[in-house]
Amino acid sequence: MFVMKNIINSVLRSGGDEKLNIVTLCEHDEKYISLLCQTGHNFYIPTGETSSRWVNETCPVPPNLHILGEKSDTPPSFDFIVCHDRLENYDQAISLAALMHLPIILVDHCVAPKKAPVGVSFSIGDPERLSRSPDITVSLSSEISNGWKKNGLDLVVPIGIDTERFSPAESRSSNNIFNEKLSPKRVVFDNAVTQSVAATIFSSLSQSEHSVLPTDSDISQKEEIYREGDYFVNSWATVTVKLLEAMACGNVPICFRTPDTESFIDHGNDGYLIESPLDLASLVAHLDENPSISKEVGQRARQKIIDNHSIDSFLSKWSHVLSYMRSQFYSVK
């Protein structure tokens, strides 16, 4: 595929100091994109003919994120396009990039699946099948990076969590959200999944003994939920930002065993892996009966985030990625 550089941008944005204007596709990537927004650059989500959308309940819109199409303002000239899923919307990224002559940054959030998903006929690990290779690939872990065959530049940038903002509560407070009178143990789960998955998790837990609260809710207060939660059930197959936030708050992470979670959670040490929702009830009962174990696991989970998922490191690495891309595509030569 013949790829054009945006020559106009290379002339007009050769100063090097201006904030970049970055198009990012978004399908359940609100949390990660809000982290990227902390780099200070401007991010834009195209709606309309793309499948991108922003769910406010998951994450409020950062001030430097703009949803294109919502207002009649003329959009600026863009510098890069960021795609978070090489399976679902990479084709959209290629189309947008071809229209605007933009370099593509691909963020791999998960390991390459061992077999192609339904409806995907080709080998998804083979980069030659991508009609256009990304200009740079960012993987969330070395396991993810090693799993995909790639051409070109790639690097690992683990998700960063602000462990001061997401930290355990000093003391348990009486909180209406958790309906303290009914239940001593608090289970948080990410409800931004399909209704069937959410319902399965919800129904697996004893409502009389646990307060179950979804992360995405109009009445929820994000940090407070994690801070005062005991267990966090990761309802996704991958390692998500919400999982890490919950771990930073000392919640015991409980994940379904998948190639992604297997390489992240040290079962029994800093979290637990279950095979199916049927295992959830027994695990939670075990943790209920052994509060010292769950406390230790929660502490180790938090320490893991402190040791390996620094928000400063995340922002620094991403700033370097964007600076490098700017120098490659838009510097004066």
Partner 1 sequence: MNVLFIGPYRQTGEWGRKSRALLNALQKTPHNVTSRPLYMQNTLFLNHSEESEFALFDSYDAVVQFSLPALTVYDNQCGKNIGVFNNEMMNLPPDSLSRISMFDEIWVDSEDIRESIQCKLQDVKVRVIGAYLDPWLWKLSQGDDLSILRANTAVSDRFIFYTLGDITQKSGLREAVTAYYSTFNHTDHVILAIIVESPVEEAAMEQLITSCKDSVGAVRDSNSMPNVTVYNPPTPSPMKVLKSLHVEADCFIMPSYSVNTSTLSLEAACFGNTPILNKGTASYGALGEENCWGIESYDEISTLDDRPFRDMFTSQEICRKPIIKSLSSLMREAYVNKFSRDKKKKNNLDLKRHLESDENYSSLGDILCS
7, 155, 182, 306: residue in contact with partner 1 (rule CB under 8 A): 7
Provide the minimum distance between the beta carbon of 44 and partner 1 in the complex, in angstroms, as a whole number.
Answer: 14
Provide the minimum distance between the beta carbon of 25 and partner 1 in the complex, in angstroms, as a whole number.
Answer: 19
Q: Which stretch binds partner 1 (CB under 8 A): 5-13, 42-50, 171-179, 243-251?
A: 5-13
Give the Cα separation of 86 and 19 in Å (integer): 26
Give the Cα separation of 39 and 319 in Å (integer): 6
Binding of partner 1 at residue 42 (CB under 8 A)? no
Give the Cα separation of 224 and 168 in Å (integer): 9
Provide the minimum distance between the beta carbon of 12 and partner 1 in the complex, in angstroms, as a whole number.
Answer: 5
Give the Cα separation of 260 and 243 in Å (integer): 13
Binding of partner 1 at residue 12 (CB under 8 A)? yes
Nearest to 329 by CA among 68, 51, 20: 20
61, 100, 197, 198: residue in contact with partner 1 (rule CB under 8 A): 100
Closest to partner 1 by CB, 76 vs 184, is 76
Binding of partner 1 at residue 10 (CB under 8 A)? yes
Sheet architecture: strand order including 252-256: 210-214, 185-189, 231-234, 252-256, 272-274
Angle at 106 between CA 112 and CA 217, to 5 degrees: 85
Binding of partner 1 at residue 278 (CB under 8 A)? no
Provide the minimum distance between the beta carbon of 5 and partner 1 in the complex, in angstroms, as a whole number.
Answer: 9
Closest to partner 1 by CB, 2 vs 119, is 2
Binding of partner 1 at residue 234 (CB under 8 A)? no
Binding of partner 1 at residue 77 (CB under 8 A)? yes
Q: Which amino acid is at 142?
A: S
Judged by CB under 8 A, the number of residues near partner 1 is 17
Binding of partner 1 at residue 4 (CB under 8 A)? yes
Angle at 233 between CA 61 and CA 300, to 5 degrees: 95
Nearest to 37 by CA among 60, 53, 4, 16: 60
Q: Which stretch binds partner 1 (CB under 8 A): 40-48, 71-79, 162-170, 296-304?
A: 71-79
Q: How far is CA 30 from the centre of its chain?
A: 7
What residues form DSSP beta bridges with 234? 255
Contacts with partner 1 by CB under 8 A lie at: 2, 4, 6-12, 14, 74, 76-77, 99-101, 332
